[in-house]
Amino acid sequence: MGVPIRMRQVLELEEDESSVSQLLIEAALVGEEATVNDALAHKLVDVNYRGTVSLRVKYSDTVQQEEAPDQVKIEYEEFKTDVTPLFAAAHAGHINITRKLLKAGADVNQKVFRGYATTAAAREGHYMILNLLQRAGAQQLALEDALLEACLFGQGKSVELLISSDMTRPEVLAQALLYASSRGFMDIVAILIKSGVDVNSWHRVLLRSAKPALHANVNCTPLIAAIVARQDLVVKYLLKAGAKTKCKVSLGAWTWDYGAGEELRVGGGAGLAEPYNEAWCAIEYWDSKGSILRMLLEYLSPNDQHNGRTLIFHAILCQNTVATKLLLAAGADAEHCIPTRDGHEFRPLHLAARLGCLAILKLLVAHGCKLNAQTHSGNTALMLCAKVGFQDCFKCLLIAGADVGLLNQQGQSAMSITYVCGSGSSTHDIMWEALKAGHTIYSSNPEVFNSVHFVARLGDVKTLQSLLKQGVGLLINVQDKWGYSPAMIAAKEGHIEAFKLLIYAGADVGLKNYQNETALCVAKSIQTRDSLECILVEAIMADVSKGKQFNALHFAAARGKLEVLMQLMKHGSDINAQDDDDYTPLMLAAKGGHDEACRLLLLAGADTSISTSQGETALTLAKQAASSKTERVIMDHLAKKFVLGGSLLLKHTRQGKGTPHMKSVRMLKCGVLSWGDSSKRNVMCCDAALGPSPRFQRNRKKGDATSPGTFRIITNTGREVHFESSTAANAKLWVQGIKLIILEVSIQATPKMNRH
């Protein structure tokens, strides 16, 4: 091959040293031996000249994958950089040119930006050139740099060549082992360890991870570097080679507050995290198969403590379900309590609940953890879920049998916590769905939570029936912390059918809450109360309920239900009993304008004289009613009762001519008005009228014939007898009562045929 035109021009023109030397570099890079020979023969050439060329350099990096070993990626980059002729020849793999340059005096230990010539040979995998350079007098720094480069690029043969030199310092060997371990170069790891490199040596190395995020220079051992890079085969080899398993390094994303027991998130690898050993790192920098942790557990116990914590807590903290399962299978203590400086204490179940780790929570539940274990403040796992609003976790614990009746030291239950934290509505729905699905919600304290109360509040009749079939009858009359029974709650919420179901199941309608209210008192509306009272009357009539504390007679009277009234009176109901508003059945019938109900009650002995605290009587209520018939019925009863009882009256004699005198007068049921023992003083009445007759007015000389209390009777013989009552009202009662008795006597005297 002829000498290039440019070279000939340079030789002919005897250019300066830099031009000749630059051409030497370029010829060495492209492998032009003839040009190299000519350049070396030139008197101005500098064999160690540093010139700039465009260099295509091998580039190595690692690709981080979640839960999988890091993968080494090798690519090429082209850029301008300064090199020497020897570096260029070593980089390009031209061994003959390398020999020529060495023979011409090239410095094997000269370093440029990209390292030594040994570095280039090691990086590019030119084992023969590397051997040549080593024998040519490469010194310690050049060989060490080449060793590290070979470890980064996985050049095992070059490593084997370089490790045979006794010139490499221990710290460089340690760094080389870390490089190879983190990149998964098993052959190089084996070569280094077999060559005597300390498997437990420490050195600073760049560690990276995608999950959790890590990019930091960390002082660690080869084992830890391999764990972070998920290089399970390297881990296995190192453990067999004697790697220690209790070395600690600050690589985690978490640290711990030893006082409160709270975990704190910090930047991974920033030196702020708490130092952990290899097993803790294996949990955080997890490989998908869990093989690294399995291997480590052959050397470490799952219950080894680190500041009071065990591995299972770290697995939960990292939300590592597979690691948790593996640890439980390996014998991890699922009930281990973490003690803190301030006296706090909690278990794995509490941590999983607080962090919302549903999958881990299910594992712990299935493992048989104590669902109702309480922390130092009395919180259960269920309460912790309620506090942070993890609904799925809450549901899991609820269905598993967590006790919703427990209280913490602040007197809060799991349910009350959800309302304080704003998640009460969704938690309410979860509990309802659980009950509808047939699950049992356990509560050791019915006053805190009772399934019957809960469903009664919802008015879910179908679910309520299901609960009653499950045998919760003993809870049907249990009262909550406000004194409400299920029946009271159903009444308050207006759930008529639910109320009916509870009553027929044996609910005690007589129970009162702590405000001294019954189920009817707390009814949602008047319409609701009416419906509830109908149900209670039906229950009493069917002998399902005895009607304790329920005024069934009042209910029937207020609605004018004659048949119900008669049935209830047969049951022995107190006809004059007063309800919570002081009303008797007669008053309610009068208020409602039910004249026939009033008549029935009066015939049964209802007392018209009873009054409420407001002074209301049956008569005053009747006057307010829309129907005048009601007032007439009561007035008739009062009048009849009045005249049969009798009173003192002023009796006039001789048709008003004589002197009047006081007599005790009363009417007999047979129609006789009596004011003495003789026949003259016992007369059969045929009529009565208010006021004096004309004759009586003429005969009275004193001018008092028009007294407002004056009334007269007419006997069956046509005789008029005048009486004077103390008031006009009494006179009116006398006349009305006498007329009623006369009418009754005449009706009784009339044959049945004639009555029709």
Q: What average pLDDT does the segment 90-105 reach?
A: 96
State pLDDT tens for residues 369-408.
999 999 888 999 999 999 998 999 999 999 999 999 999 9
C-beta separation of 498 from 464 below 8 A: yes
SS3 583: coil
What whole-number distance in Å separates Cα of residue 468 and Cα of residue 466? 5
Read off the pLDDT of residues 540-583 as tens digits, 9 standing for 90 and up: 777 666 445 567 788 788 888 888 888 888 877 788 988 878 89
Count of other CB atoms within 10 angstroms of residue 584: 27
Determine the residue type at 461.
V
Measure the CA–CA gap between 718 and 687, rounded to whole angstroms: 10
- The residue type found at 103 is K
Within 10 Å of residue 59's Cβ, how many Cβ atoms? 11
Calculate mean pLDDT across residues 694-706. 75
Strand partners, 275: none
Summarize the confidence of residues 131-143 as an average pLDDT. Answer: 96
Residue-wise pLDDT for 459-514, tens only, equals: 889 988 888 887 655 578 888 888 998 989 999 999 999 888 888 888 888 788 99
Burial class (CB in 10 A: 0-12, 13-18, 19+), 600: buried
How far does CA 16 lie from the centroid of its chain? 85
Q: Three-state SS for 78? A: strand
Q: Indicate the residue type of 14.
A: E
What pLDDT, on a 0 to 100 scale, did the predictor assign at position 5? 43
Q: For residue 744, is pLDDT > 50?
A: yes
Quickly list DSSP for 186-238.
Answer: HHHHHHHHHTT--TT--EEEEEEETTTTEEEEEEE-HHHHHHHTT-HHHHHHH
Between vectors from CA 341 to CA 389 and to CA 277, what angle results, nearest 5°? 85
Burial label, 524 (beta-carbon count in 10 A; 0-12, 13-18, 19+)? middle
Output the pLDDT for position 548.
52
Is the pLDDT at 753 greater than 50, yes or no? no
Tell me the angle at which helices 526-541 and 486-493 cross, rounded to the nearest 10 degrees: 140
Instruction: Look up residue 199 and give its amino acid.
Output: V
Q: What is the DSSP letter of 305?
A: -
Concatenated DSSP letters for 668-697?
A: -TTSEEESSSSGGGEEEEEEEEES--HHHH
Q: What is the C-alpha end-to-end distance of the chain, expressed in Å?
A: 154
CA 693 – CA 720 distance, rounded (Å) = 8
533, 555 in Cβ contact below 8 A?
yes
- Write down the mean pLDDT value for the chain: 87
Q: Tokens 């027991």 belong to which residue?
A: 261
| Ramachandran angles phi, psi of 328, nearest 5° | -65, -40
The token pair that represents 716 in the structure block: 């069956």
The DSSP result for 320-385, as a single string, is -HHHHHHHHHTT--TTPPEE-TTS-EE-HHHHHHHHT-HHHHHHHHHHT--TT---TTS--HHHHH
Percent of the chain with pLDDT over 90: 48
3-class secondary structure per residue, 700-744 = CCCCCCCCCCEEEEEECCCCEEEEECCCHHHHHHHHHHHHHHHHH
Q: Which residue in this structure is represented by tokens 């453990």?
A: 239
Mean pLDDT, range 176-204, rounded to an integer: 96
Instruction: Tell me: cis bond preceding 302? Omega within 30 of 0 counts.
Output: no
Residue 164 CA, chain-centre distance (Å), reads 66
CB atoms within 10 A of CB 615: 7
Given this model, what pLDDT does residue 756 score? 47
Question: Stretch 267-275: mean pLDDT, rounded?
Answer: 60
Residue that the structure tokens 């209802």 belong to: 606
Residue 653's nearest CA partner among 719, 703, 718, 737 is 719
Domains of the chain (ranges plus CATH)? 5-162 (1.25.40.20), 367-446 (1.25.40.20), 450-550 (1.25.40.20), 563-639 (1.25.40.20), 646-755 (2.30.29.30)
Confidence of residue 157 (pLDDT cuts 50, 70, 90): very high
How far apart (Å, rounded) are the C-alpha atoms in residues 152 and 159? 10
Structure tokens at 476: 């049907």
**Contact at 8 Å (CB) between 691 and 710?**
yes
Neighbours of 650 (CB within 10 A): 17
